[in-house]
Chain A
Amino acid sequence: MTCYHGLSQPAVRAIAAANPILADQAQTKLHYSVDHYIVDIAYAPPVTVESVRYWLGLFSHRRDGIWKGLLRVELDTPGNDAMAYAHLIPMKPVLP
């Protein structure tokens, strides 16, 4: 799930038009192996409140009642990305 804020509605429409895959669940699943949803947290306060309630309710437990959880990862953080990359490079699996 991607949460964002600070984009005007015309900008959002332009992004959606330029990247139709963002509105295509089947394609994001096929190409990126993710079930991807987007939340515009600055769109309207009632939507933000309802989104928090909805996604937290869904992701805090499995259907059989067992706890699961959410992991928050900031996007557009070049410094963090560089450190993560440096950390992961030595762990690169050696393919046979």
Chain B
Amino acid sequence: MSQRSFVQSQILETARLLELAGDHPLMSPGLRTRKAALEAELQNLLPDEPEARAVLFFTGAPVFGSVGIDAEFAGRVLDPFTRMVKSQYAAKKHGTEGARGPRRDEFESKLMLTALPRGSFGLELTQPPQHEKPESTRMVGEVLQQLSGLIESSAENDDVFADAVREVSSRTLVALRDLLGVMVDRQAGFRLVTGEREVELGRAAMTRAFERVNITVSAVRELRIAGVSRGLTLESWRFDFRSDEGDVISGRIAEEVEDAKASAMARLTDEPCVAVMRVTTIAKRDGRVSIQHELVDMVAAAPASANVR
């Protein structure tokens, strides 16, 4: 348990005892002072680094009390969940110092099944200790927090979801669709605990989230767009592009693009190009549309080529 978590739990425990003690003239003053001292201590503690650990709790049809969980269901949910982590880790890591390509990223974001917490039945996933490096541990922890936010947003509303989608790859979305699909199919409830963050989806929220993500994933298209490259930033893994129609398109470089390929595309800045983009469209209920672009490929335009859209 981190120092911060310890102090937080002590504050809760002290508050509980204080509530029971009421206005007892000898017991309560000491507990009140202790609670105030713990709260002051918490204020002075730095926030915890995100943990490379996630606990997935399930309720509903696939769970048999605190005795067990349907093994087939467990296998079916672990696959898309770990795909989400690997995919988003690769998307996040690209362009940062030391990146060597998807294969190494995949190794660093691998998670082990390390425990089966009881209560509602849970699966604990942790980064293997032998793979732990401070930077990959921190990044896996951040990815888990980000995915927790994405899952929560998918059940909230179109605007919040559109904001969350801006920071994730389309492959991550496909994996999220698959994860939610398995749980809807098996009528399961879900709670994800990552560090101090916790998100819970009951069955109604789960169905809502699945429908929203499924519609979004179904609308993903790959387009060839002619125009001029306005540059790639390999640190932030983003691009700018002006189409021949005059539209300025900005977005993420796709996670599967390797560093060498990205460097080659970066050299096409200000050149006429044909770009292959994966376009994710989120149609909101009020009629507005949010469009995200991912750059999959880009080549110099042939001198006499016709623009294609």
B229-262 interface with A by 8 A CB criterion: none
| With A25-B33, A54-B13 as contacts: A47 and B20 at CB distance below 8 Å | yes
> Does A80 belong to the interface (CB within 8 Å)?
no
Q: Which of the segments B24-32, B86-94, B212-220 contacts the partner chain?
A: B24-32
Residue contact B6 to A63, C-beta cutoff 8 Å:
yes
| Residues of A in contact with B, size category | 20 to 34
Q: Once the chains are docked, how many angstroms separate the CA of A50 from the CA of B14?
A: 10
Q: Which residues of B contact A15 (CB under 8 A)?
A: 26
Q: Which residues of B contact A66 (CB under 8 A)?
A: none
- Identify the closest chain A residue to B21 (Cβ): A47
Question: Mask for B1-45, Cβ within 8 A of A = 1, else 0?
Answer: 001001000100110110011001111011101100000000000
Q: Is the CB of B20 within 8 A of A37?
A: no
Secondary structure of the B contact surface, majority rule: helix
Q: In the complex the two chains form, is A43's CB within 8 Å of B30's CB?
A: no
Distance in angstroms from B7 CB to nearest chain A CB is 9
25 contacts between A and B (CB under 8 A): A12-B25, A12-B26, A13-B25, A16-B25, A16-B26, A17-B25, A23-B25, A23-B29, A23-B30, A25-B30, A25-B33, A25-B34, A37-B34, A38-B26, A38-B27, A40-B26, A43-B21, A43-B24, A46-B20, A47-B17, A47-B27, A50-B17, A51-B17, A57-B13, A58-B10
A interface residues (Cβ-Cβ under 8 A, vs B): 12-13, 15-17, 22-26, 36-40, 43-44, 46-47, 50-51, 54, 57-58, 63
Which residues of B come within 8 Å of A, CB atoms? 3, 6, 10, 13-14, 16-17, 20-21, 24-27, 29-31, 33-34
